[in-house]
Amino acid sequence: MSATVPLKDTNAREKVKIILALGIPAVIENFLQTIVGFVDTLFVAKLGLGEVAAVGVSNTIIAVYLAIFLAIGVGCSSLIGKSIGAGDLAKAQSIARQATWLAILAGLLFGILSLFFAEPMLRLMGAEADVIVDGVVYFRIIAVPSILMSLMTVFGSILRSAGDTKTPMKVSIWMNIIHVGLDYVLIFGLFAWEGWGIAGAAYATVISRLLGTVALYFYIRKSSLSFSLKSMQSNEYILPLLRLSGPAAAERLIMRLGQVLYFGLIIGLGTKIYAAHMIAGNIEIFSYMPGYGFAVAATTLVAQQLGSGRKKDAFAYGLISTGIAALLMSVAGVLMFIFAPVAASWFTNQTDVMDKVTAALRISAIAQPFLAVGLVLTGALQGAGDTKSPMYSTAIGMWVIRVAGVYILAVQLDLGIVGIWLSILVDLIIRALFLFWRFTTLFRHHT
What integer pLDDT is reported at residue 233 of this predicted model?
Answer: 62
Intervals of the chain under pLDDT 50 = 1-4
Burial of 204 (0-12, 13-18, 19+ CB in 10 A): buried
What integer pLDDT is reported at residue 3 of this predicted model?
Answer: 45
pLDDT one-digit tens code per residue, 219-261: 999 998 998 877 666 778 888 999 989 998 888 888 877 777 7
Three-state SS string across the chain, please? CCCCCCCCCCCHHHHHHHHHHHHHHHHHHHHHHHHHHHHHHHHHHCCCHHHHHHHHHHHHHHHHHHHHHHHHHHHHHHHHHHHHHCCCHHHHHHHHHHHHHHHHHHHHHHHHHHHHHHHHHHHHCCCCHHHHHHHHHHHHHHHCCHHHHHHHHHHHHHHHHCCCCHHHHHHHHHHHHHHHHHHHHHHHCECCECCCCHHHHHHHHHHHHHHHHHHHHHHHHCCCCCCCCCCCCCCCCHHHHHHHHHHHHHHHHHHHHHHHHHHHHHHCCCHHHHHHHHHHHHHHHHHHHHHHHHHHHHHHHHHHHHHCCCHHHHHHHHHHHHHHHHHHHHHHHHHHHHHHHHHHHHHCCCHHHHHHHHHHHHHHHHHHHHHHHHHHHHHHHHHCCCCHHHHHHHHHHHHHHHHHHHHHHHHHCCCHHHHHHHHHHHHHHHHHHHHHHHHHHHHHHHC
What integer pLDDT is reported at residue 365 of this predicted model?
Answer: 95
What integer pLDDT is reported at residue 192 of this predicted model?
Answer: 84
What integer pLDDT is reported at residue 329 of this predicted model?
Answer: 95
- Rounded to two decimals, the pTM is 0.85
What integer pLDDT is reported at residue 217 of this predicted model?
Answer: 95
- Taking the C-alpha atoms of residue 170 and residue 42, their distance in angstroms, rounded to an integer, is 24
What integer pLDDT is reported at residue 267 of this predicted model?
Answer: 73
Backbone angles phi, psi at 309, to 5 degrees: 80, 10
What integer pLDDT is reported at residue 6 of this predicted model?
Answer: 54
pLDDT one-digit tens code per residue, 382-412: 999 999 999 999 989 988 898 888 889 988 8
